[in-house]
A and B are shown apart, each in its own frame.
Chain A
Amino acid sequence: MPLPPAITDLEQLKNHPAVAKITAWNPAAVEGAKFDRDEMSIYVERSSIRDVCDLLRQDADCPFNYLADITCVDWFPSEPRFEVIYHLLSISKKERVRLKVRLEGSSPALDSVTAVWPAANYFEREVFDLFGVRFAGHPYLRRLLMPEDWEGYPLRKDYPVEGYR
């Protein structure tokens, strides 16, 4: 069964409730969108991620009140190198949406969303621990899985599978 091609044209996707909501608030916050394999991804401008999350959480029609996951993908060596990925879920409407923030490789940092969802605490610590992405405003940004004195960020693509020896 061939897959239908992904829709990446923002014009065609502007009626999706989450996209419409964000563009109505601030059109500059949406950098792009993608609808692929029945999943919606929205590229969010780096500095507005926290406000966008707050906006979607409090949306009256479709509240994305549950933060399912935060993770990161390293696209080394291309730039922008990192993509931080938020998976939101609306428990009442049974909808999912994915937010993505692109970050430069030199010193990746963005705002923490722990004030919006306390659940982000461990997820952001894990991303910091394994990718070295810093979250401004996180209450306790320490390594989560690796030992405190570990050097390097293991899930980065330039980190060897066997580790440094």
Chain B
Amino acid sequence: MILNMGPHHPSTHGVLRLILEIDGENIVRIMPDIGYLHTGIEKTCEAKFYQQVVPLTDRIDYLCPLTNNLCYVLAVEKLLGLEVPPKAQWMRVMLNELTRINSHLVWLGTHALDIGAMTVFLYCFREREDILRLFEMVSGQRMMTSYFRIGGLALEPPLGFFERVQDFATRFPSKVDEYENLLTGNPIWGMRTKGVARITAEDAVALGASGPTLRGSGVDFDLRRDMPYSGYENFKFKVPVSQGGDVFARYACRVAEMRESISMVQQALNGMPDGPIKAVAPKVILPDREMMKTQMEALIYHFKIITEGFAVPAGEVYQAVESPRGEMGYYIVSDGTAKPYRVHMRSACLANLQTLPTMCEGRLLADVVAAIGSIDIVLGEIDR
């Protein structure tokens, strides 16, 4: 029998349609059908100035906007050969780790909800709200933050921001214990996740899986540690790896990642350097408002950047960052003008989705729900 799951099924986390060929309760074949959220962002980018692309990058993955901002600005900075001051780098790392926790909280809540553990959802969204308030405080927006700029940050962090982050960082580890109390030892959770939707390390690598989907199968690879960017080499953290390759292994990986992330937030708070938040590059970075009102030159630069953008030397770069879901990469080609010739987003979810047939074929229909939750897909990022 052929069964359609989605595109509007609550457990598919967006508009994903799965064409399932089933024999009784068993999956014979599974074919994902995607593209319902395709908006042509890559084409839109080609018609914008470099700085105008930043807000578009938020919108491809609404659970980790700052990770996408970071990946894009790092790629453009690499094209320009721009050095970013330490404070901006540390802020970027701190906010990225908060984003990772934010994304993992949404994942944990909805994943548990799919499998039938309703309570966890409320616990997770309680802490997520705290993080969104932090984002609102620093950038003015809860979700579509667009806080990073090419060459630095948009604004100085407001007064009292670090105290609030500190408050959150102190409280959060005990909250992770709460989630684990609800799930890790829970026999129902164990039965729904252990040994379910297994994938071997070889298959995961061959299918292009990345992030917790890859590390859950025992492949010890994390871009933050192995190919550090934006000052990650200054931080001490462990990369959680589980050997099981099943839903539970990926769950264990992500929960351990939340603990590592909050310790990195703490390290960033302790060692936050002083100094400017923007690089010195007047032709690329907008001047401060105060300078604009008092200096002719700053006003001219502001006018030129806004009206004509800035030329980026011809060339191409591929920049990858470890997003909560895996390897998020931006491939940008410049032809020497103020608009990118081509922007391509390497979506971690698109590659991770390819592992779904390997995980589910030959297993029960109910396990598909657990498997989709465990690869943590965001359809906005898949379809772009």
Contact = CB atoms under 8 A, between A and B. Distances in A.
Q: Do A and B come together as binding partners? A: yes
A87 interface: yes
Contact of B38 (A36, A68, A85, A146): A146
A73 B344 CA distance: 9
- Choose among A117, A119, A146 the residue with the greatest number of B CB atoms under 10 Å from its CB: A119
Contact of A87 (B42, B78, B318): B318
A94 interface: yes
Given A73-B333, A161-B47, A119 B317 contact: no
A94 B221 CA distance: 9
A29 to B, nearest CB: 21
A130 B327 CA distance: 22
- Secondary structure at the B interface, as helix, strand, loop or mixed, is mixed
B169 interface: no
Contacts of A41: 316
B327 A94 contact: no
B354 A161 contact: no
Interface residues of A, number: 39
Given A87-B318, A87-B331, A65 B43 contact: no
A60 B46 CA distance: 40
The listed residue with most B CB atoms (<10 A of its CB), out of A91, A143, A146, is A91
Given A37-B317, A87-B318, A87-B346, A69 B354 contact: no
A144 interface: yes
Interface in B318-364: 318, 320, 327, 329, 331, 333, 341-342, 344, 346, 350-351, 353-354
A36 B350 contact: no
A146 B40 CA distance: 10
Interface stretch (B128-136, B205-213, B241-249): B205-213
Nearest to A73: B342
Given A73-B333, A87-B329, A145-B383, A118 B78 contact: no
B44 interface: yes
A77 interface: no
A83 to B, nearest CB: 9
Contacts of B79: 37
A2 B207 CA distance: 39
Interface string A68-103: 110101100000000001010001001010100000
B197 interface: no
Given A145-B34, A161-B47, 16 more contacts: A3-B81, A67-B208, A68-B320, A71-B344, A71-B346, A85-B331, A91-B221, A96-B227, A117-B208, A118-B206, A119-B208, A123-B351, A154-B43, A155-B42, A159-B43, A161-B43
Interface of B: 34-35, 38, 40, 42-44, 46-47, 78-79, 81-83, 205-208, 219, 221, 226-227, 313, 315-318, 320, 327, 329, 331, 333, 341-342, 344, 346, 350-351, 353-354, 383-384
Interface of A: 1-3, 6, 36-37, 39, 41, 65-69, 71, 73-74, 85, 87, 91, 94, 96, 98, 117-119, 121-123, 126, 130, 143-147, 154-155, 159, 161
21 contacts: A1-B81, A1-B82, A1-B83, A3-B313, A37-B81, A66-B208, A68-B329, A69-B346, A91-B205, A91-B221, A94-B226, A94-B227, A117-B206, A123-B351, A143-B35, A144-B35, A145-B38, A147-B35, A155-B42, A155-B43, A159-B43
